[in-house]
């Protein structure tokens, strides 16, 4: 339940209501979507990217909204109040930019310390490793991001990596009421630019890496990078933990002199750092000897690949920075488990191993293949596609990476949306020097079946792109589909 607040209290920073009866109206729930309005909810009407919420004020009132807070405009200036069917509509300047603060005033989440994780790849793994680790130490931690919101044993599906400002504040409040002492929050570049986390107080902000993604939205890598950097420069973020193995992260150190640097290579010259002295990869996982500001030690966890070593060390550094005991963290680290759909291994005797991963960017695909190469004694297969209605420039890049790092490539569909799947594959084929060697199979299930029929027992097949997702977005419908289920069925470990 949200805490109750009068209208006067809620909008006090921006507007004083003279009508005492109206000022005392109780506000218990804010809603941006008129379709979700229930009796007594307050509708917040602001212009969005696709639609203008102010066009749905009548609909919200029909649904019995108790009042409407709307973004002011020329026709309805700041502080003007109108009535529709006796329901007040109150206009406030720049309401869209104030949503995070507005929601934070109503949905208060005291006691829930927020850890923000940003970067192109690794956000889900890092946030879930942090959450697992805190749980293992006997405290209650929650997570919000790509795979859902809530406690790890009970994640509720999320529409976006970073939800709306109202959803975020409401969810943080609910988690606090359910006992969450910490919440690890994936922070997307869209979420930062659009002010969705503007009023949050971050105990820590962690940066994983920056590589090509979302250029259809940001336009340039520079703008994309600055969107990520705004977590540290334009938000209330007490501490920064930065992966300096990433070229962008290394440059950011000069702009963030108090940041804690994290690296998989020795960095004795840095006074504020946690760095690896050596990393050993085996079938059983990662063993990492580290040193730096918090002293030395050995960190072991059952994860696969170099980028997971980076994710692990970054998560560890965040928790050290938060004041968790180093030895206690090391003692429980072997109990950490891989995140669903993130380098998740499926195996069955006599058949090739199958690894499901969310890699859907050139950088992530390269890192996934390089990570598996260390473990692969036979051929390495890559099954991947590219999303429709998204950055077309990465299509040939991903194909070129698969050709370089895998022995066999199968081009398939990955949420073609409104585009022709054939046209997407044609774009991908342009990145290959030997396109005739690649196999094209639009059905992901059939692509996996084909690979398993041809692959040897020592081979590893990477299913890249969908990870935890259990759907395929087509032109006119979204259908149920899961790489994880397909792999288990074809390996005979799921009926």
| Residue ranges of the binding site for meso-2,6-diaminopimelate | 390, 414-417, 465, 469
Sequence-distant (6+) residues with CB within 8 A of 338 are 302, 303, 304, 344, 345
Q: CA–CA separation, 199 vs 165, rounded Å?
A: 9
User: Per DSSP, what are the bridge partners of residue 31?
Assistant: 43
Tokens of 480: 């149920």
**Closest alpha carbon to 355 in 304, 307, 402:** 304
Q: CA–CA separation, 394 vs 446, rounded Å?
A: 24
**Known binding-site residue numbers:** 32, 34, 119-125, 160-162, 188, 194, 196, 390, 414-417, 465, 469
Q: Which residue has the tokens 């509708």?
A: 43
* DSSP state, residue 59: H
The maximal CA–CA distance of the chain, rounded, in angstroms, is 77
User: Per DSSP, what are the bridge partners of residue 354?
Assistant: 346, 461
**Closest alpha carbon to 362 in 248, 209, 219:** 209
Tokens of 219: 């336009």
User: Per DSSP, what are the bridge partners of residue 113?
Assistant: 182
Alpha helix ranges (H) inside 137-180: 165-177
Sequence-distant (6+) residues with CB within 8 A of 474 are 416, 417
**Closest alpha carbon to 22 in 76, 58, 55, 69:** 69
Give the three-state DSSP class for 233.
helix
Sign of the CA dihedral 7, 9, 11, 14? positive
Sign of the CA dihedral 392, 398, 399, 400? positive
Beta strands in 208-282 (DSSP E): 236-243, 260-263, 273-282
Q: What does R_g of the chain's alpha carbons equal in angstroms? A: 24
**Known binding-site residue numbers for ATP:** 119-125
Q: Is 219 exposed, middle or buried (0-12, 13-18, 19+ CB in 10 A)?
A: exposed
Tokens of 62: 């029909």
The per-residue DSSP string of 436-467 comes to GGSEE-S-HHHHHHHHHHH--TT-EEEEES-T
Tokens of 340: 């669903």
Q: CA–CA separation, 188 vs 63, rounded Å?
A: 32
Q: CA–CA separation, 81 vs 90, rounded Å?
A: 5
């Amino acid at each position: 339940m949200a805490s109750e607040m009068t209208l006067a209290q809620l909008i006090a920073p921006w507007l004083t209501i003279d009508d005492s009866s109206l000022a005392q109206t109780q506000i218990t729930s804010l809603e941006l979507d008129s379709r979700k309005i229930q009796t007594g909810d307050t509708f917040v009407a602001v212009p969005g990217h696709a639609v203008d919420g102010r066009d749905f004020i009548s609909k919200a009132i029909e649904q019995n909204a108790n009042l409407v807070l709307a973004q002011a405009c020329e026709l309805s200036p700041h502080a003007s109040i109108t009535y529709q069917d006796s329901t007040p509509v109150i206009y406030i300047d720049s309401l869209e930019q104030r949503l995070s603060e507005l929601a934070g005033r109503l949905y208060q989440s005291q006691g829930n310390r927020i850890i923000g994780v940003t970067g192109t790849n690794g956000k889900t793994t890092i946030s879930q490793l942090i959450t697992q680790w805190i749980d293992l130490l006997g405290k209650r931690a929650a997570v919000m991001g790509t795979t859902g919101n809530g406690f790890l044993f009970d994640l509720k599906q999320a529409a976006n990596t970073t939800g709306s400002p109202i959803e975020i504040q409401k969810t943080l409040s609910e988690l606090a009421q359910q006992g969450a002492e910490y919440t690890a929050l994936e922070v997307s570049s869209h979420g930062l630019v659009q002010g969705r986390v503007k009023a949050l107080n971050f105990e820590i902000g962690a940066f994983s890496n920056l590589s090509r993604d979302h250029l259809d939205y940001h336009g340039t890598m520079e703008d994309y990078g600055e969107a990520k950097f705004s977590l540290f420069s334009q938000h209330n973020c007490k501490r920064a933990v930065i992966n300096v193995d990433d070229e962008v992260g290394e440059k950011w150190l000069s702009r963030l002199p108090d940041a804690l640097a994290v690296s998989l290579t020795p960095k004795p010259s840095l006074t504020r750092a946690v760095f690896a002295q050596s990393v050993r990869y085996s079938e059983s996982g990662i063993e990492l000897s580290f040193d730096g500001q918090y002293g030395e030690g050995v960190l072991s966890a059952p994860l696969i690949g170099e980028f997971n070593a980076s994710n692990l060390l970054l998560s560890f550094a965040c928790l050290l920075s938060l004041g968790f005991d180093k030895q206690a963290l090391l003692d429980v680290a072997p109990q950490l488990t891989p995140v669903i759909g993130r380098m998740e291994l499926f195996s069955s005797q006599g058949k090739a191993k199958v690894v499901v991963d969310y890699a859907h960017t050139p950088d992530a695909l390269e890192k996934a293949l390089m990570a598996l190469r260390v473990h692969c004694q036979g051929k390495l297969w890559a099954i991947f596609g590219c999303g429709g209605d998204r950055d077309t420039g990465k299509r040939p890049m991903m194909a070129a990476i698969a050709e370089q790092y895998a022995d066999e490539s199968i081009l398939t569909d990955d949420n073609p949306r409104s585009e022709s799947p054939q046209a997407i594959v044609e774009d991908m084929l342009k990145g290959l020097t030997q396109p005739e060697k690649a196999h094209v199979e639009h059905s992901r299930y059939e692509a996996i079946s084909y690979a398993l029929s041809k692959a040897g027992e020592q081979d590893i097949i990477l299913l890249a792109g969908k990870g935890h997702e259990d759907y395929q977005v087509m032109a006119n419908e979204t259908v149920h589909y899961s790489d994880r289920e397909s792999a288990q069925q074809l390996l005979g470990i799921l009926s």
